[in-house]
Amino acid sequence: MLRFLVRRLLQAIPTLLILSILIFAWLRSLPGGPAGALLGDKATPEKIADLNKLLGLDDPIFVQYFKFLGRAITGDFGNSLVSAQPVMSEIGNFLPATLELGFCAMLIAVGLGIPFGYLSARFRGGAVDNIIIVLSLVGVAVPVFFLGYMMQDALAAPLGLPSQGRQMAGLDATTVTGFAVFDGIITQEWDAAWDAITHLILPAFALATIPLAVIVRITRASVLDVLNEDFIRTANSKGLTQPIVRRRHVLRNGLLPVVTVIGLQTGALLGGAVLTERVFNFRGLGFLLAEGIERRDYPRLQALLLFGALVYVLVNTLVDISYGLIDPRVRVR
């Protein structure tokens, strides 16, 4: 297992290197540029040219890339153009929000997706199945930002839920780890913990919609496959009770493809988080990225995109490991 892990992590290096070149080249090809972003709306072309010279942005692109790479290897991604803070410390500050939101969204997606998928398969062709299928189709089809705005307009006020941010503005909560709910609990600031939970509800549901719908459909398909297998018939004929057959045989075997999808969806969650965090002003990495794109914040974008790629590689490695845990045959191979 260790060798497998090391090999996977070593594979990540060329992947990240290639990605760094692509990201760097893409950002440099965008019109506008960091000098314009730094100087603001009243920047004149002359001032932009002068600042490009000062910052070395008029050097050949490969010179700029190697300078960037040299600094990046030491963990220095420079300062954000928008906030003037070191990008790495920004990522550290904003990461807990995204993890918190992503965790809740996946909790909702998995917690509801597997049971609904299973129910759908079990009552195949019936009313329950049809309703679940239609809802999951809608879930995949509705864009996150649209859903977010709809939830804000239709749900926030009637349910008394906040639609903006991670915490009520001006709330004087103690920050220990940056995970707002967790911090509220460990410092026993219950009002802060509750406030953080209420702020999570709408964005977490918005972000969960797509993975939820995907998990429902994959679970349904997978469970249907398993239900048709010979060993289920054998188990039934042995006289095992239905709950045991479902738990030990149907679910266990049906979950393997679901785990893969959960892994992939966790990676994709970062993409969804950009829109969700933006719409709900939930200040996580997605929010940072959206703001970075708008303001042409090269240092921030470079660091965030590479960080996202790293997370994706890590999540996929974890998925492969969990495969082995669920199905021993994978380990043997």
Partner 1 sequence: MQQLRVTRARRVALIGLAGALAVSISACAESKREEGAGGGSGGTMVFGAAGNPKTFDPLFNDDGETFRIIRQMMDTLIMNKPGTADLEPGLAEKWEGSNEGKTWTFSLKKGVKFHDGTPFNAEAVCFNFNRMFNMKGAAAQSQMIYYGDVFEGFAKNEGDASGAPVFKDCQVKDESTAVLNLNKAKGAFPAAFTLPSFSIQSPDALKKYNADQVTQSGDSFSYPEYALKHPTGTGPFKFESWDQAKGEITLSKATDSPTQTAKLDKLVFKVIPDENARKQALKAGDIQGYDYPSPADYGLLRNDGEQVLIRPSFNILYLGINQKNNPKLKDLKVRQALAYGLNRAQFVKSKLPEGAETATQFVPKAIDGYNENVTKYDYNLQKAKDLLKEAGAEGMTLKFYYPTEVTRPYMPNPADIFTSLSEDMKAMGIKVEPIAKPWNGGYKDDVQKAGKHDVHLLGWTGDYNDAGNFVGTFFGREKPEFGFNDSALFSAISAADAAPAGEAHTKAYQEVNQKIMEYLPAIPISYGPPAIVVGPKVKGLVASPLTDERFYTVTVN
In angstroms, how far is CA 198 from the centroid of its own chain? 20
79 touches partner 1 (CB under 8 A): yes
**SS3 state of residue 86:** strand
User: 10 Å Cβ neighbour count for 11?
Assistant: 12
20 scored as a contact of partner 1 (CB under 8 A): no
**DSSP, res 280:** T
- Report the residue number, 42 or 333, with the smaller CB distance to partner 1: 42
Binders of partner 1 in range 34-73 (CB under 8 A) = 34, 36-45, 47-48, 50-51, 53-57, 67-68, 71
| DSSP structure string for 215-243 | HHHHHHHHHHHHHTSHHHHHHHHTT--HH
Q: Which stretch binds partner 1 (CB under 8 A): 9-17, 82-90, 234-242, 322-330?
A: 82-90
Nearer to partner 1, 5 or 61 (CB): 61
Q: Of these, 120, 273, 296, 317, which contacts partner 1 (CB under 8 A)?
A: 296
- Interaction mask 114-143, partner 1, x per CB under 8 A: ------------------------------
3-state secondary structure 117-178: HHHHHHCCCCHHHHHHHHHHHHHHHCCHHHHHHHHHHHHHHHHCCCCCCCCCCCCCCCCCCC
218 CA to centre of own chain:
19
Under the binding rule (CB under 8 A), the answer on residue 307 touching partner 1 is no
- The tokens for 323 are 């495969």
Out of 130, 150, 154, 191, the residue judged to bind partner 1 by CB under 8 A:
191
Examine residue 5 and tell whether it contacts partner 1 (CB under 8 A). Answer: no
Q: Does 294 bind partner 1 (CB under 8 A)?
A: yes
Site map (CB under 8 A) of partner 1, residues 137-176, x = contact = ------------x--xx--xx----xxxxxxxxxx---x-
Identify the H or E element spanning 297.
none
